[in-house]
Structure 1
């Protein structure tokens, strides 16, 4: 299959954006849009300098550097037709473990006008109960006391901004690209709280020199396994050490609040708006919440690929009923959006055989996902005395997934929950199912006070344990 080469001379591209967290989603989404934009000569100062801050990033840094930072992106069509793009918009790659000063200097560089972030939902260091920035985290306390040798994203950005301020290098925008409601507001709260605690003078500068637009991002991008690397390279005829693949659907909506200028991303399909709330609510409440809803029951039924789970009519019915009955009443459609078409497109996207996303990826880090995707609408449903059967089934499935680590087919598995607390572990191990509802992820409402929720949840806990998730799901469809 032929590869679509990028339509610019990479020697002419300058870095105007610094991105922290060079993972698969970033390389399939922001890099894709920017790669398309750089063909315009007046936009060629918007290349992206990637920054990795974790020891575990060594492999991706080494692989990308070995091929001059270029990589292939395979876009998997729902119609079975794929496209392969060569991506060249990653102009530099700095590994903070190897050269922390280079990260700081790059943030301070006057050519950098925007810092973008994909540090995951859990990466903003917010307390699960209060949603406030956690200043008592040990790494945060170290960075507060040792500003010149940072270890966290907050410490690096603060030190970089301090140097930027001292050098008189001007204002900058910090743009979150993570799946969070009002992600710009979240980023602002996290970074400004850290900076206020470390440097009051810098905090005053940030108030008038840094903007934090909200944005909504959307493109299903699976993790790339070693088997995927072989498969993608056979298709492309390359020896790419860091290929990425994703679905054909993509969307990016951003509030137009860039204090130091921005790329003309609208030329390549990005939507700019003054308020991203309706788009965020639609995506997080329908796509992300539905992903969470289908993940644990699907995994317990023995499915490991999302497209395979979406051939199961019981799973499809569960997801569709959840969208139509539980979520749609709370999702006002954004302007020029057909909500019924959007929901049908989601079913098609989840079922895309070419993407074949991993169910384990959807299950990963539920403690960070429930507060963002599930709890806001669940609170409304409880207050409005709505039918809670599907959401209670999800909670019972999540508990079973975390507690027993064996699916309906007798297969054991490992659980990946990087932000789970010691107290959460105790609540999960308890044989009293009600204790589980005190998990840090659920703190935005006291679920123990909802008799209607407790009644159906406890029934599902018992039935899943005795009959398996497969049989219980059949009973509620």
Structure 2
């Protein structure tokens, strides 16, 4: 044509997958088909399936929750295909059609099919993204809680499970009885030693329900540890509209994420694995150092900036990270509070890693939601904040002002539901207990330090920390989060 449609120019060119889906078979069952999984494991696997020798590693997605219905139907309408937009820090985005999710199952429609898929010896790996709180562990002891109502119900009714533990137990029981084929359960959640946590949770459930299954699992099921990393915001209705306009698509379940991606996995698989190393995944004998670095720097920094930013009125992470006060808070936290206690793995350039984190957080193309970072703090503090805080307290010389400020901001966020501008907001804490609610409602700030999220140590006995924390609580209530932040920078 003699003219060019500017709207066509502005659309991203979508990169198609380069394999024939009809030639694939599923070797992986994934439980929890959320945005992160679709931006991370599916992305790597989508790249890998271009290699014909890897055609047996397509993924079957299993959804267990009633609220998964909408996503299940959206993905089902496109046979599991969806669009992933990778947002570059340089402003250049890249859209991919992901085809690796070749089967979909939803417990609300066909729970038996999920159990049978677990039992099928062709399923060699079961991967999980069930959130930090989904492993149902006591925050003080790390023990799996058998008396949680849903878990207790599954223990009594093995054939009609509702939890991931119940589904996997029933599927593995059939597997044991039929083929005895080994299998790997691979956690992809943000937990220190996530494989160890998964093993403890599932094995405790198995032992309580079926000792024969537990004995079989000890010999035939492995639980590798892994470290996962890719910032992936929630996709809201306005994001769906925006992404479809940019990409020229009509996708009911698109995903967008940052351009950084990392996956480090302990190479301990019971029945074989994909050659993910061909597409950038790193396999190692011990992921501990990688886990500590990522959880203590990225995830802890996310938690640190989330509540002060939200109280200051910020709703987007990139906007908050263009406020020099918040950038300084994060930098000083990483350099002074974390780096002395977290050794870098291998030949990692820690200075470069930290600078990259600042750039990732500030990525305007991703524009992550502060509310997503605030979500479920009860589950995040024990994993991201408490381990390093305990090291700082033991050190005796560490500057506790930034962490005390975080605790005070978190209390203010949970207790008052109002930001510095007078705007009211709702909190989202799905794992909060009735005891937690009572501690939050108390007018004595010290009571808040007994929250279930903090029970790894008795913070109320740490005089230096408590003194700083009480000062911060009073100051935030009187002056607001940002003026108090300025006073400690």
Is TM-score (shorter-chain normalized) higher than 0.5?
Answer: yes
Q: What are the residue-to-residue correspondences of 1:287-436 with 2, within 5 Å?
A: 287-385=298-396, 386-436=398-448
Alpha-carbon distance in structure 2 between the residues aligned to 1:235 and 1:80: 13
> Of 451, 456, 467, which aligns to 1:455?
467
Q: Which residue of 2 aligns with 1:265?
A: 276
Q: What are the residue-to-residue correspondences of 1:72-221 with 2, within 5 Å?
A: 72-221=83-232
Q: Deviations over 1:380-414 (max 9, x none)?
A: 10111111000000000000000000000111000
Asked if 1:34 corresponds to 2:34, the answer is: no
Give the gaps of 5 or more residues in structure 1. none
Q: Deviations over 1:16-51 (max 9, x none)?
A: 000000000000000000000001011010000000
Q: Which residue of 1 aligns with 2:452?
A: 440
> Of 282, 289, 293, which aligns to 1:278?
289
Root-mean-square deviation (Å)? 0.5
Equivalent residue of 2:426, what SS?
A: coil
Alpha-carbon distance in structure 1 between the residues aligned to 2:209 and 2:79: 38
Q: Which residue of 2 aligns with 1:470?
A: 482
Alpha-carbon distance in structure 1 between the residues aligned to 2:296 and 2:310: 21
Equivalent residue of 1:206, what SS?
A: helix
CA contact (8 A) 1:8 1:39 kept: yes
Alpha-carbon distance in structure 2 between the residues aligned to 1:128 and 1:279: 22
Q: What are the residue-to-residue correspondences of 1:221-240 with 2, within 5 Å?
A: 221-240=232-251
CA contact (8 A) 2:79 2:103 kept: no
Moved >2 Å (runs of 4+): none
Alpha-carbon distance in structure 1 between the residues aligned to 2:180 and 2:73: 31
How far does residue 210 in structure 1 lie from its aligned partner after superposition? Answer: 0.2
How far does residue 169 in structure 1 lie from its aligned partner after superposition? Answer: 4.4
Give the gaps of 5 or more residues in structure 2. 1-11
Q: Which residue of 1 aligns with 2:5?
A: none
How far does residue 82 in structure 1 lie from its aligned partner after superposition? Answer: 0.4
Alpha-carbon distance in structure 2 between the residues aligned to 1:470 and 1:411: 15
Q: Which residue of 2 aligns with 1:43?
A: 54
Normalised by the length of structure 1, the TM-score is: 1.00
How far does residue 336 in structure 1 lie from its aligned partner after superposition? Answer: 2.1
Equivalent residue of 2:86, what SS?
A: strand
Alpha-carbon distance in structure 2 between the residues aligned to 1:337 and 1:87: 31
Alpha-carbon distance in structure 1 between the residues aligned to 2:255 and 2:137: 30
Alpha-carbon distance in structure 2 between the residues aligned to 1:431 and 1:471: 22
How far does residue 129 in structure 1 lie from its aligned partner after superposition? Answer: 2.0
Equivalent residue of 1:83, what SS?
A: strand
CA contact (8 A) 1:3 1:84 kept: yes
CA contact (8 A) 1:279 1:334 kept: yes
CA contact (8 A) 1:109 1:169 kept: no
Alpha-carbon distance in structure 2 between the residues aligned to 1:61 and 1:349: 30
CA contact (8 A) 1:195 1:202 kept: yes
Alpha-carbon distance in structure 2 between the residues aligned to 1:97 and 1:189: 28
CA contact (8 A) 1:108 1:169 kept: no
User: Which moves more between the two structures, 73-82 or 94-103?
Assistant: 94-103
Alpha-carbon distance in structure 2 between the residues aligned to 1:81 and 1:189: 43
Alpha-carbon distance in structure 2 between the residues aligned to 1:216 and 1:89: 21
Alpha-carbon distance in structure 2 between the residues aligned to 1:426 and 1:195: 34
Equivalent residue of 2:84, what SS?
A: strand
